[in-house]
Structure 1
């Protein structure tokens, strides 16, 4: 009997070993096929101009309707919140300083004058449409509004006539490629059918596994502090004659050395607490750098597909300005209400910084419609 059991366990061990080996080989094979496929699919050259597909306007109108549904689903008592990035960690005053020795080719728009200092508001936030606990996996956002910016803007709105906005979140790519996929994905989520967001039907050709992986990476654990992560534009923009993506990175070397005390991450608003600890209690500024990455259309650096990361090996990021968030008190009732009423839109911009690509065209319509709806409803409730 013991010999029989021994032979059985040896046989079972060999079977499991062969099964794991077969699964490993299968996985490596699938990975190799995927790498070869995307290496072929994501090969240049690409267009340096926008390419607007037919039917985009109708899709955009449907997305606006879905966005307003989401806003209403997540009403906070009597106030209507944003359809995304509803929960702010704080709005803080900042200074944006253009590099004094900036490369002449990068002296564009608000960065045209080397050494120029802009006063700004910076809003730091979670990505979700509902104000959830900070420890929940989520995207994190940074929006910057430069003030007293002269010149005609892309959106002829007197309320934003002297503003230049930059809108980012902390992942380099988006989990949809274009407006058509966004419509299908967002409608499924608005209906509470999250599985259908990436698997809309039984046909495997419609599945978006790569984009599901991107979405899961985007829903990351919270950083130690809102000032301790990289924020990316994701979508492309003009930068004078250039097509670029931009990002904001921490630049602690430009500020006094600082070590954030350990935070209680079980608290619902520990990211706000971390920001308050540094700026308001310890009176220590936070520093960043604004960088741009120029498109090289000879390689696969597409304008119309925001799910593709532009290669830093081909086109490294270049610093154009620094940001300094001085020590300050920001967590008061009046300022928090002011923060909630601020509207950030990448189309609040000079023509030199015009947003380009389908997702940015979508943003223009959706941001404006939801912002108007939100402010009108909030005024009615007062």
Structure 2
């Protein structure tokens, strides 16, 4: 199998990218300040993945004897990293689970990662973040389209509550808020969003999570995913997420499973073999495994632990996960990933300022997990 070298990918941005990005960040900050008053009760909440389900201590072990193309960057040789994993809901609201959709996120923060950080704010921090979603595609690909879709995201999941609202939402998405000509309608993005509607609710340990966007993988281009091992998938006891009988079933089943047994997952890489069939700039298209299979590169272990305390949710909320907090050999690629860089960074900075949360990156998982609110910051 022949993999596309990184040098074959040309990173290009539209002329209006910077202006559009500035508008996006300004709108995001305005929305956050407004919701601090109206929904957060004086606390700033995220513009996406606002509802934390919990944060757990973990360990990532890089596998040995990987094929050369996969043994790149932090995966070049076997070693272990202490880590934390934050689980969250994908929308921008804090509500009971029955009032939220099924999109969920997995944010992985590694500790002890050597090398210069790619975010200026991190200075000498030895952390590295990976961001995953329980869907393989995303429904925005350009800064211009994301400007429209950010406004639409604010209306979820309420926008799906009636046929009239749902049709309006889908029309706005398809036409990029009425700005796209029919030949440029966002069909891939619309199909990506519709696929999300088919997601079922289940224990967070049972989902497969994808990186969605493409990343540099040393000399190559890759997407990543995290999936439970067969043993973990079979051993999960609290499988049902019942939003009728329980307001917070995602949180409650996560607490129960984590408190009763350990769980293991496989981190896999899929290398690009064809920039047409496996595009970098179109995250709404799933890369076919028939072109390039996912190959295990690491094992993620979550030991049995008690995460039932309310302070666990405080710690999850205070933890900033940014896909651009990485190393040069793993930088995100594509326009939508460039958009995420400024949005994630500025959003985290504003949220930490309003909520009096720590600004510096933690040095160890214990710095994250012992968070007790602004009166006792970690470190």
TM-score category, normalised to shorter length = 0.7 to 0.9
Alignment partner of 2:47: what SS?
coil
Are residue 175 (structure 1) and residue 139 (structure 2) matched?
A: yes
**Quick one: distance in 1 between partners of 2:199 and 2:276?**
32
Asked if the contact 1:236–1:244 (Cα under 8 Å) also holds between the matched residues in 2, the reply is yes
Asked if the contact 1:232–1:247 (Cα under 8 Å) also holds between the matched residues in 2, the reply is yes
**Quick one: distance in 1 between partners of 2:154 and 2:329?**
35
Match in the other structure for 2:16: 55
Paired residues, number: 334
Aligned CA distance change for structure 1 residues 52 and 261 (closer, same or farther; 3 Å): closer
**Quick one: distance in 2 between partners of 1:144 and 1:123?**
7
Residue range with higher mean Cα deviation, 361-370 or 329-338: 329-338
Alignment partner of 1:157: what SS?
helix
Asked if the contact 2:206–2:233 (Cα under 8 Å) also holds between the matched residues in 1, the reply is no
Match in the other structure for 1:235: 213
- 2:83 is aligned, of 100, 120, 141, to 120
Match in the other structure for 1:72: 33
Q: Report the CA distance between 1:218 and its aligned residue.
A: 1.9
Unaligned runs of 5+ in 2: 1-6, 160-167, 358-372, 375-379
**Quick one: distance in 2 between partners of 1:188 and 1:223?**
22
Asked if the contact 1:146–1:164 (Cα under 8 Å) also holds between the matched residues in 2, the reply is yes
- 2:298 is aligned, of 314, 321, 330, to 321
**Quick one: distance in 1 between partners of 2:122 and 2:325?**
11
Match in the other structure for 1:270: 249
Q: Report the CA distance between 1:342 and its aligned residue.
A: 0.7
Asked if the contact 1:171–1:218 (Cα under 8 Å) also holds between the matched residues in 2, the reply is yes
| TM-score under structure 1 length normalisation | 0.80
Asked if the contact 2:139–2:189 (Cα under 8 Å) also holds between the matched residues in 1, the reply is yes
Q: Report the CA distance between 1:284 and its aligned residue.
A: 0.9
Q: Any idea what the Cα deviations from partners look like across 1:186-208, whole Å, max 9, x if unmatched?
A: 24555897452333339544543
Asked if the contact 1:160–1:348 (Cα under 8 Å) also holds between the matched residues in 2, the reply is no
Q: Report the CA distance between 1:139 and its aligned residue.
A: 1.1
Are residue 223 (structure 1) and residue 201 (structure 2) matched?
A: yes
**Quick one: distance in 1 between partners of 2:206 and 2:154?**
31
Match in the other structure for 1:196: 172
**Quick one: distance in 2 between partners of 1:241 and 1:219?**
36
**Quick one: distance in 1 between partners of 2:59 and 2:304?**
12
Q: Any idea what the Cα deviations from partners look like across 1:328-382, whole Å, max 9, x if unmatched?
A: 0113233321211111001110111111111111111111111111111112996
Alignment partner of 1:104: what SS?
coil
Residue range with higher mean Cα deviation, 297-306 or 160-169: 297-306
Q: Report the CA distance between 1:239 and its aligned residue.
A: 0.8
Match in the other structure for 2:274: 297
**Quick one: distance in 1 between partners of 2:67 and 2:278?**
22
**Quick one: distance in 2 between partners of 1:49 and 1:110?**
24
Aligned CA distance change for structure 1 residues 359 and 150 (closer, same or farther; 3 Å): same
Aligned CA distance change for structure 1 residues 138 and 68 (closer, same or farther; 3 Å): farther
Are residue 360 (structure 1) and residue 337 (structure 2) matched?
A: yes
**Quick one: distance in 2 between partners of 1:189 and 1:320?**
33
| TM-score under structure 2 length normalisation | 0.81
Q: Report the CA distance between 1:225 and its aligned residue.
A: 0.6
**Quick one: distance in 2 between partners of 1:311 and 1:113?**
27
- 1:376 is aligned, of 342, 347, 353, to 353
Q: Any idea what the Cα deviations from partners look like across 1:219-268, whole Å, max 9, x if unmatched?
A: 44443211111111111000100111111111133688343365543212
- 2:149 is aligned, of 185, 188, 200, to 185
**Aligned Cα root-mean-square deviation (Å):** 2.5
Are residue 93 (structure 1) and residue 69 (structure 2) matched?
A: no
**Quick one: distance in 1 between partners of 2:299 and 2:107?**
15
- 2:287 is aligned, of 310, 322, 330, to 310
Match in the other structure for 1:161: 125
Asked if the contact 2:92–2:154 (Cα under 8 Å) also holds between the matched residues in 1, the reply is no
**Quick one: distance in 2 between partners of 1:160 and 1:70?**
32
Unaligned runs of 5+ in 1: 1-45
